[in-house]
Amino acid sequence: MQNNEVYKDINEDLKWTQINKDILQSMENPRKGYWISVAVCLFLIMFAVVGEIYQYQIGMGVANLNWPHMWDLYIATFIFWIGMSHAGTLLSAILHIMNADWRKPIYRFAEAMTTFSLMTAGLFPMIHLGRLWNMYWVLPYLTDRGIWPNFRSPLVWDAFAISTYLTSSALFLFIGMIPDLAICRDNARGWRKKLYTALSLGWRGDDRQWRNFRRTYLIMACFLIPLAVSVHSIVSSDFAMSIMPGWSVTSFPPYFVAGALYSGCAAIITLFILLRYYFRWEEYMTIAILEKTCKLTFAIAMVWTYLNLIEFASVWYGHSAADKEVLLAKFSGPYAPFFWGMIFCGSIVPFVLAFEKWRRHLPTMMVVSILLNLGMWLERWMIVTPTLSLSYHPIAHDVMWPSWVQWFIVAGSFGWFGLLFLVFVKVFPSVSMYECKEMVLHRRELANKEISPVMANGPGGGAPAPGVANKSPGVEGS
Amino acid sequence: MSLSNLVDDWSKYRKGREEGGYHDYEHMWGMSIDLNKCIGCNACSVACYAENNLAVVGKEKFEKGQGMHWLRIERYWDEPDLGEERTAEFQQHGASFLPMMCQQCNAATCEPVCPVAATYHTPDGLNAQVYNRCIGSRYCSNNCPYRLRYFNFWSFYEDSWPAPLNMQLNPDITVRDKGVMEKCTFCVQRIRTVKDKARMEDRKVRDGEVQTACSQTCPTGAIEFGDMLGMYDPETGVAETRVTKMWRKHQVELGKTKQNKQTPDMRGYRVFEFLNTDPCVMYLDRVREV
């Protein structure tokens, strides 16, 4: 009983002014850890800039790409970042439609994670191009020459899918933030005042605005769900549409989507713990919500493991000798340590999430969530590279390890993502204020309904039910 | 593309021959390579370097797998891993050689995956690579089961040919800079020259008039090059060429994933036919005493 009291989704006695104050202070005075993280991110970006300038000047050869290994870490990391973008949609759109209200304090930063990981992912196809300066040729722009991109190519589908998903998710992030931006506007000074005034689009919080807002938000959510599923399916068709052994796998689209949700949820746990620390948000990012996220992650981890086994089984019972050879090479070839690392991180480590004791232990969860994402990154690498090292033609069997340039750029992508995210959480409210208020209101109503009769009959007398104001949780609390 | 096309069975569009695919071929250049005759001397490869302005990347980069040999002689031994356990028997047999150049597949796997359509099928039945259009996504090379596409990982055109050597470059063909894919073109510059000449003289291209650098150079005449349109579409009335005769003799047909051989002396095969790439290069199996 006592545990249940401690681990509540949110404390229903929170005052609305208190919510406003707590969230708004995140934009003013984070802990020192925040600034250290910013410095680390800038440092990592510096590495990537050095690597990219060198590669741009000299040629792709400096990345240790070679004749069978035309793709390597760049594409693997590209898939990784695309994958990470899926969890934001899961939390903000899918759980919104399913009325899971525990998502409310954490969906905003998850949605921001979606947008920024897409921005990071979008860099990789450019970085990996041999002639970066011609990358716009992939887009169907009007040209005198009358040349169109090749619509049969999965890479062109990628360009469409990612740009659509990026614009939609950025729009979704923005729309969901409008009532909160109005609160910020009412409290800000200086340049922030101007910024929030422009962005809040004249939000006053009247009934008509709320109605339109709700409708727009719901429509966007419904639009975004099939889009998110299709995006990673399309990314998977980069491989599934080829004829290479180990790539041409029919189950790749669901496998990629499951992997995407998996790594995204793991990243949410990481960022959850970081934000909770940076901004002292123990009241909002509660252990109960972390537990629910962990359970979700565990379920998705099992789906991913299952799809992984399906893939192995279908190769094993299939008739393609080349496919089998690639699979066996993953098990026991030169890439085997990374393969088993992926299995360990992706399928065994998540069992930690099955234990309540560990789910509530923040440092453990931090380590576990990072390990899960490491596993998912390895998974992407193990999709791309073993096939290239062992394709049909025996003369092209080759093992090549990425050079420092690739590692620098991959490391820098984490810095780039981290920097975008950190700037966002400092400039914008990364916990949804109005939805926290809704949540509190909802919980109070529940408490009144359920607890009052019991308490009335009990020895303790009447419950001190908090006064519930019957008005919409808008901006007036500011 | 109409709606009825969209709901049709798309697999048939992979075939050049059938309706909806490419069918206005003027030529279909092909090869027949007799491995009995190949002695593995690498003269074809050298000729290819000279003819097509291939960059000489140097030993170090070649070992890293960054070389660009459009035509490579592959060596295979009977025993896959030689190493320490090399026996006299295998030494006696020596290597088998397989000259591999772009197979100019009729259902090329590299073509549909290029995002900018830099590789496409020409009316000559060639699988063309447009260097100017290439943005270097390298998907084509990944999707080529023969691994016959080479990427310019470095910039060579400035310093690969020191002072007097740059004079030996073939002016009919461009030099490629870093970041583009390249591959065997069946010496397309020679084909163009002969076709232009034939058009000026108002006649058809004669058999044997076009010779690729490799077939011209081969000391044993292992490589035959010629027009195979007669194999592809007998109704066009294209005369039999030496290549089509070889294909017919060894009963190898286009558009098949498996050839039915009636007798053991039908030595013809195409590499990775089962992948349905429909290549235009036929190899004649090497026969030797065991």
DSSP string, A227-261: HHHHHHHHHHHHHHTS-STTT--TTHHHHHHHHHH
A206 to chain B nearest CA, in Å? 48
Q: How confident is the model at residue A461 (pLDDT cuts 50, 70, 90)?
A: very low
Whether A154 has its CB under 8 Å from any CB of chain B: the answer is: yes
Compute the distance between CA of residue A171 and CA of residue A115 in angstroms, rounded to an integer.
9
Chain B touched by A153 (CB under 8 Å) = yes
Chain A residue with minimum CA distance to B145:
A392
CATH for the stretch B24-284: 3.30.70.20
pLDDT, residue B1, reads 46
Q: Using a pLDDT cut of 90, give the percent of chain A over it.
A: 40
Locate the chain B residue with the closest alpha carbon to A398.
B65
Contact with chain B for residue A59, Cβ under 8 A: yes
Q: Is A137 on the interface with B (CB under 8 A)?
A: yes
List the structure tokens of A20.
């406003």
Structure tokens at B244: 């089509």
Candidates A243, A384, A405: best to mutate against B (most CBs of B within 10 A) is A243
CA distance linking residue B133 with residue A252, whole number of Å: 30
Reported as a pLDDT band with limits 50, 70 and 90, residue A475 is very low
B175 pLDDT higher than 90:
no
**What are the pLDDT digits (tens) for A371-407?**
999 999 999 999 999 999 988 888 888 888 999 999 9
Residue B67 in contact with partner chain A when CB distance is under 8 A: yes
- Contact at CB, B115 and A156, closer than 8 angstroms: yes
Q: Is the pLDDT of residue B194 over 50?
A: yes
Distance CA B219, CA B180 (A): 32
Confidence at residue B91, expressed as pLDDT on a 0 to 100 scale: 54
The per-residue pLDDT for range A53-77, each reduced to its tens digit, is 999 998 898 998 988 899 989 999 9
Instruction: Evaluate whether A166 touches B152 at the Cβ level (below 8 Å).
Output: no
Nearest CA to B125 among B39, B8, B256, B231?
A: B231
| A477 to chain B, closest Cα gap in Å | 53
Write down the pTM of the prediction: 0.88
Q: Chain-wide mean pLDDT for chain B?
A: 83
Residues pairing with B33 in the sheet? B223, B283
Q: How far is CA A229 from CA A85, A235, A255, B192, in A?
A: 11, 10, 11, 48
Residue B21 — very low, low, confident or very high, per pLDDT cuts 50/70/90? very low
Which pLDDT value is given to residue B281?
93
Cβ(B105)–Cβ(B113) below 8 Å: no
The rounded radius of gyration (Å) of the Cα atoms in chain A is 24
* B136–A contact, CB cutoff 8 A: yes
Q: Is the CB of residue A412 less than 8 Å from the CB of residue A45? A: yes
A293, A13 contact by CB (below 8 A): no
Tell me if B282 sits within 8 A of B246, measured CB to CB: yes
CB B39 within 8 A of CB B96: no
Q: What is the mean pLDDT of residues A19-42?
A: 87
CB within 8 Å of chain B, chain A residues 8-37: none
| Per-domain boundaries in chain A | 26-397+415-436
Q: Does A140 touch chain B (CB under 8 A)?
A: no
Going by C-alpha positions, the residue among A47, A49, A72 that lies closest to residue A60 is A72
Q: How far is CA A182 from CA A177, A189, B260, in A?
A: 9, 13, 76
Give me the pLDDT at residue B86, please: 55
Tell me, yes or no, if B139 comes closer than 8 A to chain A by beta carbon.
yes
- Rounded to whole angstroms, how far apart are CA atoms A204 and A194? 16
Say if the Cβ atoms of A68 and B72 lie within 8 Å: no
Q: Is the pLDDT of residue A342 over 90?
A: yes
Question: Nearest Cβ partner of B142 from A61, A242, A395?
Answer: A242
Please give the average per-residue pLDDT across B2-6, as a whole number.
61
d(Cα A245, Cα A318) in Å, to the nearest integer?
12
- Please report residues of B whose CB lies closer than 8 A to that of A59: 152-155, 178-179
CB contact under 8 A, B64 and A64: yes
**A390 close contact with B: CB closer than 8 A:** no
Residues B31-56: pLDDT tens digits? 999 999 999 899 999 999 999 988 88
pLDDT confidence bin for B7, thresholds 50/70/90: low
Q: Give residue B158's pLDDT.
A: 62
Q: What is the mean pLDDT of residues A23-47?
A: 89
B90 phi and psi angles, rounded to 5 deg = -70, -35
- pLDDT for B82 beyond 60: no
Q: Which residues contact B121 (CB under 8 A, 6 or more apart)?
A: B16, B22, B106, B108, B111, B127, B128
Mean of pLDDT over chain A? 85
Residue A470 contacts B where some CB pair is shorter than 8 Å: no
Using 50, 70 and 90 to split pLDDT, how confident is the model at A468?
very low
Using CB atoms, pick whichever of B65, B67, B178 lies closest to residue A59.
B178
| Cβ-nearest to A130 among B65, B66, B178 | B178
Residue ranges of the domains in chain B?
Answer: 24-284
Q: Say whether residue B179 is in contact with chain A using an 8 A CB cutoff.
A: yes
| Higher local confidence (pLDDT), A466 or B111 | B111
- Whether residue A467 is predicted with pLDDT greater than 70 in this model: the reply is no
Spatial separation of the C-alpha atoms in residues A178 and A171, rounded to whole Å:
11
Question: Does the distance separating the beta carbons of B143 and A398 come in below 8 Å?
Answer: no
Distance from CA of A243 to the nearest CA of B (A): 6
Q: How confident is the model at residue A143 (pLDDT cuts 50, 70, 90)?
A: confident
The band of B93, judged by pLDDT with boundaries at 50, 70 and 90, is: low
- In this prediction, residues A259-267 reach a mean pLDDT of 91
Q: For residue range A91-106, what is the model confidence (pLDDT) as tens digits?
A: 788 888 887 888 888 8
pLDDT tens by residue, A402-423: 999 999 999 999 999 999 999 9
- pLDDT tens, residue by residue, B228-257: 888 877 776 677 888 889 888 888 888 888
Q: Which CATH number fits domain A26-397+415-436: 3.40.50.300, 1.20.1630.10, 3.40.50.2000, 1.10.40.30?
A: 1.20.1630.10
What's the length of chain B? 290
In chain A, which residue's Cα lies nearest the Cα of B277?
A: A243
A235 min Cα distance to partner chain B (Å): 13
